[in-house]
Amino acid sequence: MAGTSGRRRTLEPRPSAQCESIDGVLLLHLIPATKLPRESRPRHLSVGGPVSHPSSKVPLLAILPNLLPLSTLLSTMSTNPSFVLRAVEDVVYEERPIPDILDDEVLVEVKKTGICGSDVHYLVAGRIGDFIVKDPMVLGHESSGLISKVGKNVHTLQPGDRVAMEPGATCRVCEDCKRGRYELCPDIIFAATPPYDGTLARYYRIPADLCYKLPAQLSLEDGAMMEPLSVAVHAVANIAGLKTNQSVVVFGAGPVGLLCLAVARALGASRIISVDIVPSRLEFAKQYAATETYLPPKPEPNESKLAYSERNARTMKEKLGIEERGPKSIDLVVDASGAEVSIQTGIIVARRGGTYVQVGMGSAEITIPITTLLVKELNFKGSFRYGPGDYPLALALVSQGKIDLKPLVTHRYPFTAAIEAFETTKAGKSADGKGVIKAIISGPDVSPNDH
């Protein structure tokens, strides 16, 4: 275990470096934001309400009033500008030291990062379940980039290689790692899950074997999208074990729901039904990967959730011709919504002996029709992140043209506009009213137009 704890120690959050090389020359200073007069505090460096860590020891990058735009500031930062969550609704750009790498690690210049519901959740709530942000943490975990430096023992990668990064480094020696379910490793170091820093920085260090070389036909944006795609591959291919000619219902047509539809199609599912309460999402799902769509009715006043779900399931079965058994039954239900009524409806529409997979994260406590689950002998399973073989299968499906990730990237932002990307993802649409599926933030040295 010595190796494990060794790596852990070196990945602990480190204090920010002072940025002396630029101090003076460009009239930029490192000033704790709280020491600035209120009116000159770096407004576009901080989201939301008051700075809630007044005693933070971390020096914050601030722009002296009216001197240089943020983009100029970041392009002159000599080391490792990083987008840091300090507290709820409180994010800043900080200069961090360039990480040192171990012999089996690489340093990646991060080029594209997708924003995920979980990143937004940490920003607005400061926690997801038991994962609580206590110290400042760099956000972002859906990333691709260029290899910048390789450790002594790394022979498979070279500086300049374009890679997708799998953002969870596991211990490799625990029971779960050794039985091939490394996503359950208790010592996983997962990007942007407290206390570990994420990838929204110029540089990120990572074990070499978690970097997957991108074939020439794949873009760096495709590389970043490998993360949510691997979540879908894990749920549909690995946890559910979908077979060809099986029928699938996916609740929720957000990024992960859409990707579950795409994986089901790529693996040869016969019926692929998308369910969502937003009609425009269903339209997208239909032209993207679904064979059928279903828009649930609105709940009636005073109708209990379970009564609504029973009515919803009945209507759905009638409208789509779904039966309890036989060729018109549903082999696999995937919930990518986390909504209680979707979960209840899913259990009711699944066939006898069918499979139900929970991949969406929603309310922590819900009521489920447990007797229905029991008498149908449903395989009721959880799906968390991704495990062995998921990234490689995701890459293969995209490389062979079986899944097209490009239509899912709806919004692109420069590194300096990371806040906007978060706000857009949180709101579900940008100021111009365009619905967001996936927003991508470019690294500090790459233009959003350069995919």
| CA–CA separation, 384 and 239 (whole Å) | 9
Contact 255, 408 (CB under 8 A): yes
Of 174-182, 217-225, 334-342, 376-384, the segment contacting Zn ion by CB under 5 A is 174-182
Tell me, by CB under 5 A, how many residues bind Zn ion: 6
Shortest CB 176 distance to Zn ion, Å:
5
Q: Does 170 bind Zn ion (CB under 5 A)?
A: yes
| CA–CA separation, 390 and 232 (whole Å) | 9
Shortest CB 379 distance to Zn ion, Å:
25
Of 112-120, 238-246, 284-292, 327-335, the segment contacting Zn ion by CB under 5 A is 112-120
Contact 250, 271 (CB under 8 A): no
Shortest CB 386 distance to Zn ion, Å:
10
| CA–CA separation, 201 and 247 (whole Å) | 42
Of 31-39, 72-80, 110-118, 409-417, the segment contacting Zn ion by CB under 5 A is 110-118
Q: Which is nearer to Zn ion, 174 or 405 (CB)?
A: 174
Q: Which of 102, 137, 163, 174 binds Zn ion (CB under 5 A)?
A: 174
Q: Which is nearer to Zn ion, 144 or 329 (CB)?
A: 144
CB under 8 A, 24+ apart: contacts of 311-315: 312/341, 312/345, 313/344, 313/345, 313/348, 313/349
Of 178-186, 263-271, 355-363, 443-451, the segment contacting Zn ion by CB under 5 A is 178-186
> What is the x/- site pattern for Zn ion, positions 67-106, by CB under 5 A?
----------------------------------------
Q: Which is nearer to Zn ion, 121 or 305 (CB)?
A: 121
Q: Which is nearer to Zn ion, 187 or 445 (CB)?
A: 187
Q: Which is nearer to Zn ion, 27 or 173 (CB)?
A: 173
| CA–CA separation, 248 and 261 (whole Å) | 8
Q: Which is nearer to Zn ion, 30 or 192 (CB)?
A: 192
Task: Count other C-beta atoms under 10 Å from residue 83's C-beta.
Answer: 26
Q: Which is nearer to Zn ion, 185 or 282 (CB)?
A: 185
Cβ-count burial of 57 within 10 angstroms (0-12 exposed, 13-18 middle, 19+ buried)?
Answer: exposed
Q: Which is nearer to Zn ion, 171 or 418 (CB)?
A: 171
Shortest CB 159 distance to Zn ion, Å:
27
Shortest CB 362 distance to Zn ion, Å:
15
Shortest CB 173 distance to Zn ion, Å:
6
Q: Which is nearer to Zn ion, 2 or 25 (CB)?
A: 2
CA 363, chain centre distance (Å)? 18
Residue 258, C-beta contacts closer than 8 angstroms, at least 6 positions apart: 274, 284, 285, 288, 289, 408, 437
Shortest CB 168 distance to Zn ion, Å:
10
Shortest CB 385 distance to Zn ion, Å:
8
Q: Which is nearer to Zn ion, 226 or 322 (CB)?
A: 226
Contact 322, 314 (CB under 8 A): no
Q: Which is nearer to Zn ion, 80 or 170 (CB)?
A: 170
Contact 49, 89 (CB under 8 A): yes
Shortest CB 170 distance to Zn ion, Å:
5
Q: Which of 120, 177, 200, 359 binds Zn ion (CB under 5 A)?
A: 177
Q: Does 342 bind Zn ion (CB under 5 A)?
A: no
Q: Which of 107, 116, 256, 357 binds Zn ion (CB under 5 A)?
A: 116
Within 182-241, which residues bind Zn ion (CB under 5 A)?
Answer: 185
Contact 164, 204 (CB under 8 A): no
Of 108-116, 296-304, 311-319, 347-355, the segment contacting Zn ion by CB under 5 A is 108-116
Name the token pair of 233: 């591959």
Shortest CB 95 distance to Zn ion, Å:
26
Looking at the DSSP bridge assignments, the partners of residue 335 are: 251, 358
Q: What are phi and psi of 69, to 5 degrees?
A: -70, 160
Q: What are phi and psi of 195, to 5 degrees?
A: -95, 15
Q: Which of 106, 171, 320, 409 binds Zn ion (CB under 5 A)?
A: 171
Contact footprint for Zn ion (CB under 5 A): 116, 170-171, 174, 177, 185
